[in-house]
Structure 1
Amino acid sequence: MPYEFDAELWTLDSGGLHVVTVPEAMSDEIDERTAGSQGGFGSVKVAVAIGSSSWTTSLFPSLEVGAYILPIKKPIRTAQGCARGDVVHVGLRLVGLED
């Protein structure tokens, strides 16, 4: 995967949506590479891998943290045995763009 990072799993205000924050410098690069091709709400389609799980989803910009956030659904968290506060290794690739 072209992008790899370690990040802590955290929850948004409601506590239901679990996310990781894409590092700021990486978020800036992704923003530059996807300028003009972002989806609704500034979303960016990505292929993601955490442990043995892989799936396609979207990154979303967060003004609160100044970077993209990546939602991690419950089936992925369950399969990988991770919970809020755990640090996970994330691999991601932009979908629809040449690497």
Structure 2
Amino acid sequence: MHFTFTAPLWEWSARAAWYFVSVPEEESADIREIPRMPSGFGAVKVRATVGNSTWDTSVFPGAAEGVYVLPMKKSVRVAEGIDEGDPVTVHLELLEL
């Protein structure tokens, strides 16, 4: 299953220098509906692509109920020239189906 969306990059206020992009509500709902084995923290394994950068990671349930968040590695932010507040177009491929 694949998703493509655009959302702003934001910094987690509880931990400086940790950045995320929120998966929109509709896509988050679609991810939640897919049956899978329970995992730590409700994480779902994904392959993320932003620009020319692709990496394997997980999306996690965010503070907003029902919305997943994608951690954005510093190496990706630097390589793609992304700063806090910038719109980020993300292609997600679920790896757990």
Whether the 8 Å contact between 1:21 and 1:70 is mirrored in structure 2 is yes
Letter of the 1:65 partner, please give it.
A
Q: Which moved more, 1:19-28 or 1:7-16?
A: 7-16
Whether the 8 Å contact between 1:38 and 1:44 is mirrored in structure 2 is no
- Give identity over the alignment, percent: 42
Q: 1:7-27: CA deviations, max 9, x gaps?
A: 000011123210000001110
Long gaps (5+) in structure 1? none
What CA distance in whole angstroms lies between the structure 2 residues aligned with 1:18 and 1:73? Answer: 7
Letter of the 2:48 partner, please give it.
V
Partner residue in 1 for 2:20: 19
Deviation, structure 1 residue 72: 0.2
Number of equivalent positions: 95
Letter of the 1:42 partner, please give it.
G
Partner residue in 1 for 2:64: 65
CA RMSD of aligned residues (A): 1.3
Q: 1:37-95: CA deviations, max 9, x gaps?
A: 24200000000000000000000001x22200000010000000001010010000100
| TM-score after normalising by structure 2 | 0.91
Long gaps (5+) in structure 2? none
Letter of the 2:24 partner, please give it.
P
Partner residue in 2 for 1:32: 33
